[in-house]
């Protein structure tokens, strides 16, 4: 079993013990959960091929119509200056995404991933109104 396969198996076992629903595919684990501001937030937890780092992306925060993206980007830049732990951006489909990257270590990887998800979720809750105002005002 490769290092990344071990990392995914360890993390999914950890999630099961915590009774957190997930779907795993390859080196990515998708977690769907409710937040204060978003009914269903999706977090994609992707381990690099060597298992030494993780990329966490919060998907589906909001969608900006193409004609509004020019207004959304400065607001997301402001959020990136105001908040630690993650960065916000708009993808090519207009989806607003928050993500972060971290080095992980065998003895703390699972706790680190869950802590980062919680921190990103907290930032999203704090920033959600600003994101929505940038899209709809």
CATH code, domain carrying 67: 3.30.1460.70
Half-sphere exposure of 89 (CA within 13 A, CB side): 7
The residue range of the domain holding 98 is 3-136
Number of domains within the chain:
1
- 62-97 in b/e form (b: 16+ CB < 10 A) is bebeeebbeebeebbeebeeebeebbbebeeebebb
User: For position 32, what pLDDT does the model report?
Assistant: 85
Q: Is the Cβ–Cβ distance between 79 and 127 less than 8 Å?
A: yes
Compute mean pLDDT per 10 residues along the chain, 137 residues long, and list them: 94 93 95 69 93 95 95 97 95 96 96 94 94 95
């Amino acid at each position: 079993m490769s290092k990344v396969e071990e990392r995914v198996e360890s993390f999914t076992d950890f999630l099961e013990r915590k009774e957190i629903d997930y779907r795993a595919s390859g080196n990515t684990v998708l977690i769907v959960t409710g937040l204060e501001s978003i009914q269903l937030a999706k977090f994609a937890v992707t381990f690099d091929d060597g298992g030494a780092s993780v990329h966490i992306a919060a998907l589906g925060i909001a969608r900006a119509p193409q004609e509004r993206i020019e207004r959304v980007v400065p607001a997301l830049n402001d959020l990136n200056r105001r908040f630690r732990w993650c960065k916000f951006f708009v993808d090519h489909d207009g989806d607003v995404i928050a993500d972060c990257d971290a080095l992980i270590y065998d003895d703390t990887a699972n706790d680190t991933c869950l802590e980062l998800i919680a921190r990103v979720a907290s930032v999203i809750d704090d920033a959600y109104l600003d994101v929505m105002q940038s899209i709809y005002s």
